[in-house]
A and B are shown apart, each in its own frame.
Chain A
């Protein structure tokens, strides 16, 4: 898209661009040297005392430090994997449920006696309202609060679990709802003909949803779903609040011993960026493969718009 915004540069323009580029690069380099490198160097932030345990294999603490960091990464990935699977399941169920309730709302239950029909209708709309409220509330709350709610609220009702499960439940409650909304908007955004055709060949509303709408919604919303998964991975870092030993928390412990916060956080940041970046690259690859597999006319366009909407839901 960006290339349609300007003409292919001619020789003069290219020369100008090159000069500007070089100037900009030099400027950035000089700025970085004076504003970042010198102050840090002056404070001794580049000393091997601080960096050694992280990057120098001959340092006495190197193996120990990386063993600890590895434990943290493992814990992060375990929590993320569990939360992702749970959110996908909950999200799908919730999306289907909400759509079913919506289609039930119009039903009159003509064959049943009046009180039973009213009861069923009341039940249906009651449930619809309840799920709606749940979605609004959990979508509107910070994940930190949800995790806190789970970790400190559940024990008040006599449920005590490992911290891992508090984190997983907390993340699932929030992300499950978000995924449900992504899927639902995907299903509702499908051309109306899909549903009509399904009804015409005699599928029940439930069959229509699960056989026709849901699979298509998954496909269209894949980018949004994937970026939500990156969000889950990043959100596991909130485990430090409830003393779950994920990467950041381990980092904190290492800092307690080695007193090199900036260095440790830098390494952790790089790790997160690497993992998340490759995850999104993988997602793009899958997306492309899927798109190549089946050439449906206007679906990709919808997906392009949908992707960043929920990418913003990140912590």
Chain B
């Protein structure tokens, strides 16, 4: 068990790196997911098709495959994802700015993949708003954007929040895969490092990194449960 004390910095570093990519990917996925959701309900058929295709592809593909394409097909397209080297952000999220692009590739993969689920969560919320609301808005002469902006979205937001939370929790867990695609030093890769390269016993290390993940997922889950219960009471 001494590994927890001896290698505390490794656990802490791994936690910090995992947290970084999760925060960035969550923001990215929420934004992109919202865009895709709007595409999927928009009045223009090709845009709708585009949105549907996006969701179909990314929901049905294992994240491992998405990660692979991001890490190996993007370079083949001649991109090192340098557009993600956003000047201010590099100060906090140091890995964004390094010459090694794998953190950025992993971030792109996680964002693209999660956005499909974010889109579905948002759409579920929109579906939960009773159709009469939108119809009433239309009969008042509101356009598509006005309808969304003033009538549907403010109401769907509440129904979306719990599914969205689940998506984000799933994303945190999915981030465990980034260690297999060239990102050195996240929580799961640290476990690998400690057990196979440095020879620490498996069980204590596994417990250590499990705690790392649970610190992120369990409180978020508890919060969601609370919100869900309060909404259930409010609905009665």
**Residues of A near any B CB (own CB < 8 A):** 1-2, 4-7, 9, 17, 20-21, 24-25, 35-36, 39-40, 43, 45, 136-137, 139-145, 148-149, 152-153, 156, 230, 234-235, 237-238, 240-241, 248, 261-262, 265, 268-269, 272-273, 275-277, 280, 304-305, 307-315
Is A238's CB under 8 angstroms from B117's CB? no
The interface residues of chain A lying within 8 Å CB-to-CB of B19 are: none
The interface residues of chain A lying within 8 Å CB-to-CB of B78 are: 39
Is A313's CB under 8 angstroms from B166's CB? yes
Residue B88 interfacial (CB < 8 Å)? no
User: What 1/0 mask marks residues of chain B from 43 to 77 whose CB sits below 8 Å from any chain A CB?
Assistant: 11111100000001101111111001100110011
Q: What are the 7 closest A-B residue pairs judged by CB atoms, nearest first? A: A312-B167, A142-B176, A276-B60, A140-B217, A237-B62, A142-B173, A2-B41
User: What 1/0 mask marks residues of chain B from 183 to 205 whose CB sits below 8 Å from any chain A CB?
Assistant: 00000100100010000001100
Is B166's CB under 8 angstroms from A156's CB? no
CA distance A308 to B170 in the complex (A): 12
Q: How far is the CB of B17 from chain A (nearest CB, A)?
A: 14
The interface residues of chain B lying within 8 Å CB-to-CB of A307 are: 124
Q: How far is the CB of A272 from chain B (nearest CB, A)?
A: 6
CA distance A140 to B168 in the complex (A): 12
The interface residues of chain A lying within 8 Å CB-to-CB of B168 are: 312
The interface residues of chain B lying within 8 Å CB-to-CB of A313 are: 166, 169-170
Residue B144 interfacial (CB < 8 Å)? yes
**Residues of B near any A CB (own CB < 8 A):** 40-41, 43-48, 56-57, 59-65, 68-69, 72-73, 76-78, 117, 120-121, 123-124, 126-128, 131, 134-135, 138, 143-144, 147-148, 152, 159, 162-163, 166-170, 173-177, 180, 188, 191, 195, 202-203, 206, 209-210, 213-214, 217-218, 221
Is A7's CB under 8 angstroms from B138's CB? yes
CA distance A148 to B180 in the complex (A): 13
Is A312's CB under 8 angstroms from B47's CB? no
Is A21's CB under 8 angstroms from B45's CB? yes
The interface residues of chain B lying within 8 Å CB-to-CB of A152 are: 195, 202, 206
CA distance A136 to B41 in the complex (A): 35
Is A235's CB under 8 angstroms from B62's CB? yes
The interface residues of chain B lying within 8 Å CB-to-CB of A145 are: 176, 188, 191, 206, 209-210, 213
Q: Which residue of chain A has its CB nearest to the CB of B139?
A: A7
Q: Which residue of chain B has its CB nearest to the CB of A135?
A: B221
The interface residues of chain A lying within 8 Å CB-to-CB of B59 are: 230, 276, 311, 314
Is A6's CB under 8 angstroms from B57's CB? no
Is A305's CB under 8 angstroms from B188's CB? no
The interface residues of chain A lying within 8 Å CB-to-CB of B41 are: 1-2, 5
Is A4's CB under 8 angstroms from B213's CB? no
Listed by A's residue number, 12 A-B pairs whose Cβ atoms lie within 8 Å are: A6-B144, A7-B138, A20-B44, A39-B77, A141-B217, A145-B188, A234-B61, A269-B65, A269-B69, A273-B56, A275-B60, A313-B166
Q: Which residue of chain A has its CB nearest to the CB of B152?
A: A5
Q: How far is the CB of A165 from chain B (nearest CB, A)?
A: 18
Is A149's CB under 8 angstroms from B131's CB? no
Q: Which residue of chain B has its CB nearest to the CB of A36?
A: B77
Is A273's CB under 8 angstroms from B144's CB? no
Q: Which residue of chain A has its CB nearest to the CB of B117?
A: A312
CA distance A277 to B57 in the complex (A): 9
Is A308's CB under 8 angstroms from B124's CB? yes
Residue B62 contacts which of A1, A234, A277 (CB distance < 8 angstroms)? Answer: A234
The interface residues of chain B lying within 8 Å CB-to-CB of A273 are: 56-57, 60-61
Is B45's CB under 8 angstroms from A17's CB? yes
Instruction: Take A40-B77, A43-B76 as given contacts and tell me if A314 and B65 are in contact as well, using a CB distance cutoff of 8 Å.
Output: no
Instruction: Take A273-B60, A309-B163, A314-B170 as given contacts and tell me if A140 and B117 are in contact as well, using a CB distance cutoff of 8 Å.
Output: no
Is A262's CB under 8 angstroms from B76's CB? yes
Residue A142 contacts which of B61, B126, B174 (CB distance < 8 angstroms)? Answer: B174
CA distance A25 to B169 in the complex (A): 36
The interface residues of chain A lying within 8 Å CB-to-CB of B166 are: 309-310, 312-313
